[in-house]
């Protein structure tokens, strides 16, 4: 039976609507929902591949698992056993050591209902504020700055502003890759009106920057100096709005005094850019009819992230670029429900519905609504993410319950995080997939239902709440996150009810997401985010709605602060005067490079979902260290050379990719690869946990490092056709033994690349076993111990379907081409191992796929460009860029480069 279910994409904060087509209880295809206001039918390359990632249950968490003794493996158990174990251990730790001895680490990818229950469980039932979220790594500087400047959290802007803006300033945002569907809207607006100006502030020349009218490639971490310098110029040139400043703001005089020293010349020098460019940016911004800034992790993930946000908001307030169509500071949220998490107060420093933990009256309000004594809510702020894991490591927190996030990969300073998870007395991991870096530490693994299998609501970047609907049943025994939390809460209610500490406990009588939403709604009434007028029925009937949406209103509010009244007590916005401070991790002769990190177009975070799709590997199939060609040449490094990247905290090995997009002295590593796909936890082995003093957000965008060539002459390339996910699971445990190893999936192929100084003991035997390449009639071996060569290849019906080349990998590309081609093998089988083979098989190694939807590669595009094709010519002749459009910025860059060249 075929059904179509309306839901949302589970990736970024754009919050696109999707239509999921399922056949006989399995997800068959996904397309954009033409009626959803965020995307009007469009999806990006990741959204387009959603069905591909839901194809198989290999690697899914299908049953609860429990470790009865430390050091022993976990075994499968029934739900009641797992739930009792969690409730029992949490209760006994709370009884023995107090409520702050336990902690919850949750995620902006949970649904609002999930979030609500976990927050109530921690704060209302256990009585600890130790519940923090991966949003701490993501949005907390933006939240803090909105509250400091406007008195309340939440972007004042909406997506329609994308079409009204005359100047668009991207600050630390690579929206072309991270918010692609919004980027499509901006591209269309600019194509319709080329006088719209784009300014991009990013140390790298990203696909977003390549389309800008002005790219300010600042030195990482110098944004405050830039914004202060721009403000200095605006004040000097009389481009500020005195009347607005006088009537609607506080603190301008102090700010004016503070930016006096930031002359454009001094600021430009600090940022490493031309003074004229800074002035140009200030004028395009200040003199614009409508200036919109879109900002993301380049501002937030900094030890001065709040200051970076405030310095940008200052520009908007001083020039009245706010509260009108096309203008305002628009913080793009990263995760699909980072906003929902903020609404329910699911962080260590806030309470439900934008209330503050430190405010006694607000605590009392929440307690009353939850039907508990006011004292039951703790006034002690909980520990933010990095501190929470430090406390686990120090033993002051004994137990942690991790939900829908993978801290062993995504928190800074992986070695410390691993130590924290090892030292913790009790670790609960609630996950949808079993192979993430955090799962091995779980004493209890709770299998979670995931995208396509659960119902509730999410809020996107423009404060718009959408319904999420389950299209299929969850596999195995997996359950929705809210259900798991409710089950444990009900058990804890009974246990803790008997203790004098909690005279009355809040109720968890939820049997579906809807009553949870209804309770959440009641807590928002009368608040800035009032959604008293919303219900599941209304959202289902009338589609997604923006908040605020109080009872009785006909629609939500698209823009906030349109009357110049802000959410502070006196209605005035606040200027703050941030001083420029360099990043925390000092660059010096030992650590001369600034390493930054971020996203790739087709991968999502730790790849537990996107890493299941061969299609999403095609744009970037291997991790890399991006480095300016001059920096590489000075160190004698060539493309693909393996290097050690060393920081004050740790190291990792990666291949070098020389790129003109980098500033000299700055390096970039994609954040995605981790121990599921490579030999280390990835970039966070070296990243810096130093955090912003206001928002506690760590400086994930900057670490001082050095780069050293590393001699790893023993190389392996292996390829195997089969169930790629099962093969990946089999090979994953081997990766850590090599100094460098990385996996990629390509259709039904698994590709393994590894390197070390010499073969790790028994490694090859284990690899042969994992890949099913044990000796038999169809598997040919070749060994030359003297020369360190060990090779195997396997045929099936005379078609080569896998090989391992160790010691000498020169034929790897040719053999891989033969595996891909699936053509009958000609000539002797032993010839497969002969160096003479190189070049004999016609097809070249598979190249990078630029267009993921139409599978169009770089070579084909280059050939068309050589014939003079334009972007539209490429679209017409090759079909690339005609489906989701995610590759269009890259096509445009390739065209420009070709025109320059010829």
Ligand X SMILES: Nc1nc2c(c(=O)[nH]1)N[C@H]1C(S)=C(S)[C@@H](COP(=O)(O)OP(=O)(O)OC[C@H]3O[C@@H](n4cnc5c(=O)[nH]c(N)nc54)[C@H](O)[C@@H]3O)O[C@H]1N2
- Cβ pair 248, 564 in contact under 8 A: yes
Sign of torsion over alpha carbons 686, 689, 691, 695: positive
According to the binding rule CB under 6 A, does residue 671 interact with ligand SF4? no
Structure token pair of residue 685: 């082995």
Shortest spacing between CB 747 and ligand SF4, in angstroms: 22
Q: CB of residue 337 vs ligand SF4: minimum separation in angstroms?
A: 11
**Closest CB to ligand SF4 among residues 126, 181:** 181
Q: Is 64 in the site for ligand X (CB under 6 A)?
A: no
User: Is residue 11 at the binding interface for ligand SF4, with CB under 6 A as the rule?
Assistant: yes
Pairing label, strands 26-32, 17-23 = antiparallel
Cβ of residue 133: shortest distance to Mo ion, in angstroms? 10
Least distance (Å) between residue 25 CB and ligand X: 18
Phi/psi for 191 (5° steps) reads -65, -40
Output the smallest distance, CB 782 to ligand X, in A.
40
Phi, psi for residue 150 in degrees, rounded to 5: -110, -10
Q: Is 332 in the site for ligand SF4 (CB under 6 A)?
A: no
596 binds ligand X (CB under 6 A): yes
Place of tokens 């630390």: 172
Kindly state the smallest distance separating residue 894's Cβ from ligand SF4, in Å.
Answer: 22
Q: How far is the CB of 769 from ligand X (least distance, A)?
A: 27
Query: Applying CB under 6 A, does 47 fall inside the site for ligand SF4?
Result: yes
- Residue 388 found at the interface with ligand SF4 (CB under 6 A): no
Q: Does 227 bind ligand X (CB under 6 A)?
A: no
Angle at 354 between CA 353 and CA 357, to 5 degrees: 105
Maximum pairwise Cα distance, the chain = 86
Residue 124 or 334: the one with the smaller Cβ distance to Mo ion is: 334
Between 373 and 412, how does the x/- string for binding to ligand X read (CB under 6 A)? ------------------------------xxxx--xx--
Question: 3 to 32, contacts with ligand X by CB under 6 A?
Answer: 12
Per-residue x/- mask for ligand SF4, residues 172 to 191, rule CB under 6 A? --------xx----------
Q: Binding-site residue total for ligand SF4 (CB under 6 A)? A: 13
Comparison of 14 and 376: residue with beta carbon closer to ligand SF4: 14
Sorted by sequence, the CB contacts under 8 Å of residue 176 that are 6+ apart come out as 183, 206, 207, 208, 211, 601, 889
CA atoms within 13 A on the CB side of 746: 25
Determine if 16 is a binding residue for ligand SF4 (CB under 6 A).
yes
Q: What is the 3-state secondary structure (H, E, C) of 340-371?
A: HHHHCCCCCCEECCCEECCCHHHHHHHHHHHC
DSSP 120: I
Let me know if 357 is exposed, middle or buried by CB neighbors in 10 A (0-12, 13-18, 19+).
buried
Complex with ligand X: residue 173 or 875, whichever CB lies closer: 173
Partner that binds at residue 328, options Mo ion, ligand SF4, ligand X, none, CB closer than 5 to 8 Å by kind? none
What minimum distance in Å lies between the beta carbon of 58 and ligand SF4?
23
Q: Which is nearer to ligand X, 524 or 674 (CB)?
A: 674
Per-residue x/- track, 552-591, ligand X (CB under 6 A): ----------------------------------------
Q: Under the criterion CB under 6 A, does residue 307 sit at the interface with ligand X? A: no
* Contact letters for ligand X, residues 729-748 (x by CB under 6 A): --------------------
Cα 361 → chain centroid: 36
Between 465 and 805, name the residue whose CB sits nearer to ligand SF4: 465
CB-based contact 437:675 (threshold 8 Å): yes
Q: Which stretch binds ligand SF4 (CB under 6 A): 40-48, 337-345, 488-496, 774-782?
A: 40-48
Instruction: Using the minimum distance from each CB to ligand SF4, give the nearer residue, 680 or 852.
Output: 852
Residue (12 or 600) nearer to ligand SF4, CB: 12
Sole window of 66-74, 199-207, 543-551, 857-865 interacting with ligand X (rule: CB under 6 A): 199-207
- Tell me the window of 44-52, 156-164, 687-695, 846-854 that interacts with ligand SF4 (CB under 6 A): 44-52
Residue ranges that bind Mo ion, judged by CB under 5 A: 138, 334
Q: Minimal distance in Å, beta carbon 896 to ligand X?
A: 19
Please identify, among the stretches 174-182, 371-379, 614-622, 892-900, the one whose residues bind ligand X according to the rule CB under 6 A.
174-182
Written in H, E and C, the secondary structure of 521-533 is HHHHCCCCCCCCC
Judged by CB, which is closer to Mo ion: 138, or 312?
138
Q: Which does 176 bind (CB under 5 to 8 A by kind): ligand X, Mo ion, ligand SF4, none?
A: none
Torsion angle of alpha carbons 680, 613, 411, 108, nearest 10°? -170
Residue written as token pair 């397309």: 31
Of 14, 111, 104, the closest CA to residue 450 belongs to 111
Closest CA to 221 of 304, 297, 279, 294: 304
Chosen residue from 221, 251, 286, 611 binding ligand X by CB under 6 A: 221
**Sequence-distant (≥ 6) Cβ neighbours of residue 235 within 8 angstroms:** 256, 259, 318
Answer with the entry of Mo ion, ligand SF4, ligand X, none that 107 interacts with (C-beta below 5 to 8 A by kind): ligand X
Name the minimum Å distance from CB 534 to ligand SF4.
21
Integer Cα distance of 614 and 855 in angstroms: 11
* Cα–Cα dist 897/881, whole Å: 18
| 831 contact partners, CB below 8 Å, separation of at least 6 | 837
Angle at 717 between CA 713 and CA 721, to 5 degrees: 170
Q: How far is the CB of 308 from ligand X (least distance, A)?
A: 7
597 part of the interface to ligand X, by CB under 6 A = yes
Point out which span in 130-138, 561-569, 618-626, 818-826 binds ligand X (CB under 6 A): 130-138
Q: Which residues contact 741 (CB under 8 A, 6 or more apart)?
A: 678, 679, 734, 735, 752, 753, 754, 755
Residues for the chain: how many in total?
902
How many CB atoms are located within 10 Å of the residue 651 CB? 16
Closest CA to 316 of 200, 212, 227, 223: 227
Choosing from 157, 306, 321, 335, the residue that interacts with ligand X (CB under 6 A) is 335
Q: Which residues pair with 60 in a beta bridge?
A: 433
Q: 789, 782 in Cβ contact below 8 A?
A: yes
Q: Whole-number minimum distance, CB 424 to ligand SF4, in Å?
A: 33
886 binds ligand X (CB under 6 A): no
Rounded CA gap, 198 and 168, in Å?
5
Instruction: Give the DSSP H/E element, type plus range, for residue 291.
Output: strand 291-295
With a CB cutoff of 8 Å and minimum separation 6, the contacts of 19 are 4, 5, 6, 7, 30, 31, 32, 33
Residue 220 within binding range of ligand X, rule CB under 6 A: yes
Q: Which is nearer to ligand X, 426 or 768 (CB)?
A: 426
User: Which DSSP category does 679 fall into?
Assistant: S
Under the binding rule (CB under 6 A), the answer on residue 647 touching ligand SF4 is no
CB of 719: closest distance to ligand X in angstroms? 26
| Contact call for residue 44 and ligand SF4 (CB under 6 A) | yes
Closest C-alpha to 894, from 873, 884, 876: 873
Report 532-571 residues binding ligand SF4 (CB under 6 A): none
Rounded to whole angstroms, the Cα distance separating 475 from 2 reads 18
Residues that bind ligand SF4 (CB under 6 A): 9, 11-12, 14-16, 39, 43-44, 46-47, 180-181
Residues that bind ligand X (CB under 6 A): 12, 46, 107, 109, 134, 137-138, 171-175, 177-178, 201-204, 206, 220-221, 223, 296-298, 301, 334-335, 403-406, 409-410, 430-433, 436, 448, 450, 481, 596-599, 601, 603-606, 608, 671, 683-684, 687, 700-701
């Amino acid at each position: 039976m075929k059904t179509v279910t309306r839901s949302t994409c589970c990736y970024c904060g754009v919050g696109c609507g999707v239509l999921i087509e399922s056949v006989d209880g399995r997800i068959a295809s996904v397309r954009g929902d033409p009626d959803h206001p965020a995307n009007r039918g469009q999806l990006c390359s990741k959204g387009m591949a959603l069905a591909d990632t839901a194809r198989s249950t290999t690697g899914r968490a299908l049953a609860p698992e429990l470790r009865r003794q430390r050091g022993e493996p976990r075994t499968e158990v029934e739900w009641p056993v797992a739930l009792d174990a969690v409730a029992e251990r949490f209760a006994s730790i709370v009884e023995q050591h107090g409520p702050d001895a336990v902690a919850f680490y949750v995620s902006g990818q949970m649904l609002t209902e999930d979030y609500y229950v976990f927050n109530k469980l921690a704060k209302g039932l256990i009585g600890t504020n130790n519940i923090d979220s991966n949003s701490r790594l993501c949005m907390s500087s933006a939240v803090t700055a909105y509250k400091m400047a406007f008195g309340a959290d939440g972007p004042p802007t909406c997506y329609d502003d994308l079409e009204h803006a005359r100047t668009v300033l991207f600050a630390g945002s690579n929206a072309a890759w991270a918010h692609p569907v919004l980027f499509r809207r901006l591209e269309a607006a600019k194509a319709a009106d080329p006088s719209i100006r784009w300014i991009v502030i990013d140390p790298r020349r990203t696909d977003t920057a390549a389309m800008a009218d002005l790219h300010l490639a600042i030195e990482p971490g110098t944004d405050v100096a830039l914004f202060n310098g721009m403000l200095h110029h605006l004040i000097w040139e009389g481009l500020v709005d005195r009347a607005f400043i006088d009537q609607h703001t506080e603190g301008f005089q102090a700010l004016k005094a503070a930016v006096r020293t930031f002359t454009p010349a001094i600021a430009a020098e600090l940022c490493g850019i031309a003074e004229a460019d800074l002035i140009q940016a200030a004028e395009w911004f200040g003199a614009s009819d409508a200036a919109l800034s879109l900002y993301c992790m380049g501002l937030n993930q900094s030890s001065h992230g709040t200051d970076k946000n405030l310095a940008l908001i200052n520009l908007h307030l001083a020039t009245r670029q706010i509260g009108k169509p096309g203008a305002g500071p628009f913080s793009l949220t990263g995760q699909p429900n980072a906003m929902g998490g903020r609404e329910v107060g699911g962080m260590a420093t806030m309470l439900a519905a934008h209330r503050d933990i430190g405010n006694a009256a607000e605590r009392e309000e929440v307690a009353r609504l939850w039907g508990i004594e006011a004292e039951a809510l703790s006034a002690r702020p909980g520990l933010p993410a990095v501190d929470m894991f430090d406390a686990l490591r120090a033993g002051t927190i004994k137990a942690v319950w991790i939900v829908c996030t993978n801290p062993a990969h995504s928190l800074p300073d992986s070695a410390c995080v691993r130590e924290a998870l090892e030292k913790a007395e009790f670790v609960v991991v609630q996950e949808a997939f079993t192979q993430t870096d955090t799962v091995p530490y779980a004493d209890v693994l709770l299998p979670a239902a995931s995208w396509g299998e659960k119902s509730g609501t999410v809020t996107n970047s423009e404060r718009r709440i959408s319904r999420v609907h389950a299209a299929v049943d969850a596999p195995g025994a997996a359950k929705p996150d809210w259900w798991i939390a409710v089950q444990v809460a009900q058990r804890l209610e009974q246990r803790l009810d008997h203790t004098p500490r909690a005279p009355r406990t809040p109720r968890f009588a939820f049997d579906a997401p809807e009553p949870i939403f209804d309770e959440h709604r009641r807590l928002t009434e009368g608040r800035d985010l009032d959604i008293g007028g919303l219900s599941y029925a209304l959202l289902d009937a009338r589609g997604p709605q923006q908040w605020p949406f109080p009872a009785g209103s006909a629609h939500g509010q698209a823009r906030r602060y349109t009357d110049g009244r802000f959410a502070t007590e006196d209605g005035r916005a606040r200027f703050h005067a941030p001083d420029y401070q360099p990043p925390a991790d000092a660059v010096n002769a030992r650590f001369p490079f600034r390493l930054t990190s971020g996203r790739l177009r087709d991968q999502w975070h730790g790849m537990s979902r996107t890493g299941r799709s061969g299609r999403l590997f095609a744009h970037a199939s291997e991790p890399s260290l991006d480095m300016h060609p001059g920096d590489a040449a000075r160190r004698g490094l060539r493309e693909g050379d393996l290097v050690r990247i060393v920081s004050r905290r740790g190291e990792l090995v990666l291949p070098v990719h020389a790129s003109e997009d980098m500033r000299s002295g700055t390096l970039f590593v994609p954040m995605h690869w981790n121990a599921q796909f490579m030999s280390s936890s990835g970039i966070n082995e070296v990243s810096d946990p130093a955090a912003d003093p206001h928002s506690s957000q760590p400086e994930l965008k900057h670490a001082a490092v050095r780069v050293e060539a590393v001699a790893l002459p023993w190389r392996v390339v292996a390829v195997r056709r089969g169930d790629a996910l099962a093969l990946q699971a089999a090979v994953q445990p081997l990766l850590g033994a090599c100094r460098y190893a990385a996996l990629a999936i390509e259709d039904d192929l698994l590709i393994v690349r590894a390197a070390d100084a010499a073969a790790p003991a028994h490694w090859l035997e284990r690899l042969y076993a994992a890949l099913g390449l044990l000796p038999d009639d169809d598997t040919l071996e070749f060994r030359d111990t003297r020369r360190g060569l060990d090779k195997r290849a396997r045929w099936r019906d005379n078609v080569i379907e896998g090989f391992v080349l160790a010691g000498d990998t020169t034929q790897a590309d040719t053999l891989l081409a033969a595996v891909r081609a699936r053509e009958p093998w000609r000539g002797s089988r032993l010839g497969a191992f002969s160096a003479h083979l190189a070049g004999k098989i016609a097809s070249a190694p598979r190249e990078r796929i630029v267009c993921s939807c139409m599978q169009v590669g770089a070579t084909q595009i280059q050939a068309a460009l050589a014939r003079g094709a334009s972007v539209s010519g490429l679209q017409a002749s090759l079909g690339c860029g005609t489906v989701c459009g995610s590759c269009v910025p890259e096509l445009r860059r390739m065209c420009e480069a070709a025109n320059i060249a010829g």
